[in-house]
């Protein structure tokens, strides 16, 4: 019995059905909890493939931070459940959309099938990563040596995000000044 | 006969989830659900990066996934701030109701 493939089947089924219920559920709260399920399934997939750092960060960042933000905003807006949320469109538009979707699906399937006979360009095979101290160590060393400049740049991105979010969420008073 | 788990199998999952996320952005009118669908797409792209990193025996895909996560966190913070600001002026999160430029 191959446990890795079995776990892959379980996690991918959870991910796909969770993603479908994110899109199709009418209530935003149900969508948010389906999204949590998808994030956990993705963390499982990362762990299966050996990306342990990404799996841990997926749970910390996505289910820990981003989902809390989403649930807070849903709570803050306190809206009633919309009855007919789906967009209505004409028959011609639906035909064009179906054609575009078929084209996109063909391109994606072609790419996935071609990925089976890619020749590896790097040297870091599974055994070599284990010999060098595991995925976490290898990724961290690459992040803080070759790519440290990009890592520092993300701090500017986060600072900009914080400043712009505060500026957006600031409530204007009736006199025109900001409080 | 059960096959061994190969990295390219994750690409199929990523493909399906990306298409579902794109569908969500196109089909739904609720801005919150549209943002969640964007998160779905970003996640599936992350999965692609990690899978290709394994296929190529490189570590750069993992790093790119890390940076995508940072961008996703910033994007969702700013996006939700925008949704709140919009809700304050229009009292709705329906994307079809945003037509102030039209009238």
Quick: pLDDT tens for B34-86: 999 999 999 999 999 999 998 888 888 999 999 999 999 999 999 999 888 88
Total structural domains within chain A: 3
Interface touch A22/B40, C-beta < 8 Å? yes
- Separation CA A24–CA A159 (nearest Å): 34
Judge if A108 and A157 occupy the same domain. no
Total structural domains within chain B: 1
Judge if A33 and A69 occupy the same domain. yes
Would residue B26 count as lying in a domain?
Answer: no
ipTM here = 0.91
Arithmetic mean of pLDDT, B79-97: 85
Arithmetic mean of pLDDT, A80-107: 76
Domain limits for position A27: 1-80
- In tens, the pLDDT along A143-170 reads 999 899 999 999 999 999 999 998 887 8
Would residue A178 count as lying in a domain?
Answer: no
Judge if A9 and A58 occupy the same domain. yes
Percent of chain A with pLDDT over 70: 89
Confidence of residue B103 (pLDDT cuts 50, 70, 90): confident
- In tens, the pLDDT along A32-88 reads 999 999 999 999 999 998 889 999 999 999 988 899 999 999 888 876 655 556 667
Interface touch B29/A85, C-beta < 8 Å? yes
**Residues 64..93 of B with a Cβ closer than 8 Å to A: which?**
65-67, 69-78, 80-85, 87-88, 92-93
Would residue B46 count as lying in a domain?
Answer: yes
Q: Quote the tokens at residue A54.
A: 């990404």
Judge if A128 and A114 occupy the same domain. no
Arithmetic mean of pLDDT, B8-31: 89
Angstrom CA distances, A96 to A89, A90, A101, B15, stand at 11, 10, 9, 21
* pLDDT of residue A1 exceeding 60: no
Judge if A71 and A127 occupy the same domain. no
**Residues 143..172 of A with a Cβ closer than 8 Å to B: which?**
143, 147, 150, 154, 157-158, 160-162, 164-165, 168-169, 171
Mutation for B interface: A51, A131, A167, most B CBs within 10 A: A51
A75 touches chain B (CB under 8 A): no
Would residue A6 count as lying in a domain?
Answer: yes
Would residue A3 count as lying in a domain?
Answer: yes
Would residue B103 count as lying in a domain?
Answer: no
Judge if A114 and A140 occupy the same domain. no
A3 touches chain B (CB under 8 A): no
Judge if A53 and A109 occupy the same domain. no
Interface touch A135/B81, C-beta < 8 Å? no
- Separation CA A72–CA A54 (nearest Å): 25
SS (H, E, C) chain A: CCHHHHHHHHHHHHHHHHHHHHHHCCCHHHHHHHHHHHHHHHHHHHHHHCCHHHHHHHHHHHHHHHHHHHHHHHHHHCCCCCCCCECCCCHHHHHHHHHHHHHHHHHHHHHHHHHHHCCCCCCCCHHHHHHCCCHHHHHHHHHHHCCHHHHHHHHHHHHHHHHHHHHHHCCECCCCCEC
* pLDDT of residue A178 exceeding 60: no
Query: Given this model, what pLDDT does residue B91 score?
Result: 81
Judge if A14 and A76 occupy the same domain. yes
Select the highest-mean-pLDDT range: A23-32, A89-98, A109-118, B94-103. Answer: A23-32
Q: Which of A85, A112, A143 is opposite residue B8, by nearest beta carbon?
A: A112
Would residue A68 count as lying in a domain?
Answer: yes
Judge if A5 and A52 occupy the same domain. yes
Judge if A137 and A157 occupy the same domain. yes
Would residue B101 count as lying in a domain?
Answer: no
Domain limits for position B43: 31-94
Say what angle helices A3-24 and B7-27 make with each other, to 10 degrees: 10
Would residue B78 count as lying in a domain?
Answer: yes
Would residue B75 count as lying in a domain?
Answer: yes
Would residue B60 count as lying in a domain?
Answer: yes
Q: Measure A52 CA to nearest chain B CA, in Å.
A: 10
B43 touches chain A (CB under 8 A): yes
Interface touch B20/A23, C-beta < 8 Å? yes
């Amino acid at each position: 019995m191959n446990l890795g493939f079995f776990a892959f089947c379980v996690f991918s089924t959870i991910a796909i059905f969770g993603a479908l219920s994110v899109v199709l559920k009418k209530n935003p709260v149900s969508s948010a909890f389906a999204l949590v399920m998808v994030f956990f399934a993705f963390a499982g997939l990362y762990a299966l493939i050996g990306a342990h750092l990404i799996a841990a960060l997926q749970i910390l960042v996505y289910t820990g931070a981003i989902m809390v933000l989403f649930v807070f905003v849903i709570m803050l807006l306190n809206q009633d459940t919309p009855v007919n949320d789906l967009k209505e469109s004409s028959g011609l538009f639906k035909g064009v959309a179906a054609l575009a979707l078929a084209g996109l699906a063909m391109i994606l399937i072609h790419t996935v099938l071609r990925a089976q006979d890619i020749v590896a360009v790097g040297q870091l095979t599974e055994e070599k990563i284990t010999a060098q101290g595991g995925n976490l160590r290898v990724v961290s060393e690459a992040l803080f040596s070759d790519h440290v400049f990009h890592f520092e740049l993300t701090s500017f991105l986060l600072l900009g995000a914080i400043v712009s979010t505060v500026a957006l969420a600031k409530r204007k008073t009736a006199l025109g000044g900001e409080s | 006969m059960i096959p061994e788990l190969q990295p390219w199998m994750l690409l199929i999952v990523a493909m399906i989830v990306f298409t579902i996320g794109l569908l969500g952005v196109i089909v739904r009118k609720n801005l919150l659900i549209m943002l969640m669908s964007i998160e779905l797409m970003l996640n599936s792209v992350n999965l692609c990066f990690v899978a290709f990193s394994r296929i190529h025996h490189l570590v750069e895909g993992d790093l790119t996934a890390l940076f995508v996560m940072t961008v996703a966190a910033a994007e969702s913070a700013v996006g939700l701030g925008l949704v709140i600001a919009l809700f304050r002026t229009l009292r709705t999160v329906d994307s079809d109701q945003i037509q102030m430029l039209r009238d």
